[in-house]
């Protein structure tokens, strides 16, 4: 049983939905990533840690800009393991890395998974289709790493079943068409996606992301039957707003994440 799966089961027993918080590693500076993650972890159930990439095709302007800041600050893919080790000293919640495929391939799939297993728990690769994922899934499984794949509103039923078969830990449901970014409303397709996943595989929790930016959104996702809710751009925007003043940033993050977590309680 993985740490991610254990977390979801424990939350289910207590009547809560998992709050998965995304942040960009190295933004605004690698030295600030551990204290930012530690602040978020006081309220989040899972941390999703992004590796900055020069061509983040699935991300909107907010996360693209965060990626640029991180790269300019000296963040590189191999530094992710040092940051995870530092974060792990402060919290034992699951850590999921979100990376595009190129940095992992360049680093070496087997080597990457072995290093990730030293403190991390899962991997999300948004530009990796399941048809090309066998090596990633195999090496991840060998090292106890969960592989989390994405399902979009336009994904056909047959492919949803295939993606669920490749996924472990949880499956990532994209709530809307397009790229990441905060939205004012949540698409009505969420319930349909959740139902489709549950019908095909009851042992993997569906978590919903993209466009979720406020407690009201979280409550809506919880009511839709999701087992997890993923908030990214809104957190990244808050980090950008206070990036020059860590003494303001940390309490602001804690306040925001506390409100989001409170909204996950049924």
Q: Which residues are catalytic?
A: 48, 59
Peptide bond into 147 cis (omega under 30): no
Residues in the chain: 266
* Token digits of residue 53: 């990439």
Nearest to 46 by CA among 224, 261, 262: 261
- Bridge partners, 208 (sequence order): 173, 229
Angle of the 246-262 helix axis to the 215-223 helix axis, nearest 10:
30
Q: Is the CB of residue 213 less than 8 Å from the CB of residue 238?
A: no
147 HSE (CA, 13 A, CB side)? 24
Q: How far apart are CA 174 and CA 168, in angstroms?
A: 17
SS3 string of 240-260? HHCCCCHHHHHHHHHHHHHHH
Angle at 76 between CA 111 and CA 64, to 5 degrees: 120
* Token digits of residue 211: 């466009």
Q: How far apart are CA 86 and CA 89, in angstroms?
A: 5
């Amino acid at each position: 049983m993985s740490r991610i799966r254990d977390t979801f089961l424990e939350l289910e027993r207590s009547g809560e939905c998992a709050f998965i918080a995304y942040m960009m590693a190295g933004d605004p500076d690698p030295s600030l990533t551990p204290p930012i993650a530690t602040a978020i972890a006081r309220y989040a159930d899972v941390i999703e840690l992004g590796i900055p990439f020069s061509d983040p095709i699935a991300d909107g302007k907010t996360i693209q800009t965060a990626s640029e800041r991180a790269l300019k600050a000296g963040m590189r893919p191999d530094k992710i393991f040092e940051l995870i080790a530092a974060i792990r000293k402060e919290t034992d919640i699951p850590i999921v890395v979100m990376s595009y495929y190129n940095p992992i391939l360049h680093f070496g799939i087997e080597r990457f998974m072995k290093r990730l297993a030293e403190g991390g728990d899962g991997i999300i690769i948004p530009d990796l289709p399941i048809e090309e994922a066998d090596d990633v899934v195999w090496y991840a499984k060998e090292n106890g790493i969960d592989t989390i794949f994405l399902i979009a509103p336009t994904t056909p039923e047959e492919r949803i079943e295939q993606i669920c078969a490749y996924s472990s830990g949880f499956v990532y449901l994209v709530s809307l068409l397009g790229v990441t970014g905060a939205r004012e409303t949540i698409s009505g397709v969420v319930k349909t996606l959740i139902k489709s996943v549950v019908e095909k595989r009851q042992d993997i929790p569906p978590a919903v992301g993209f466009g979720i930016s406020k407690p009201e959104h979280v409550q809506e996702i919880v009511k839709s039957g999701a087992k997890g809710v993923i908030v990214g751009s809104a957190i990244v925007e808050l980090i950008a707003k206070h990036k020059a003043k860590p003494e303001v940033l940390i309490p602001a993050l804690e306040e925001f994440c506390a409100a989001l977590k409170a909204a996950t309680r049924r």
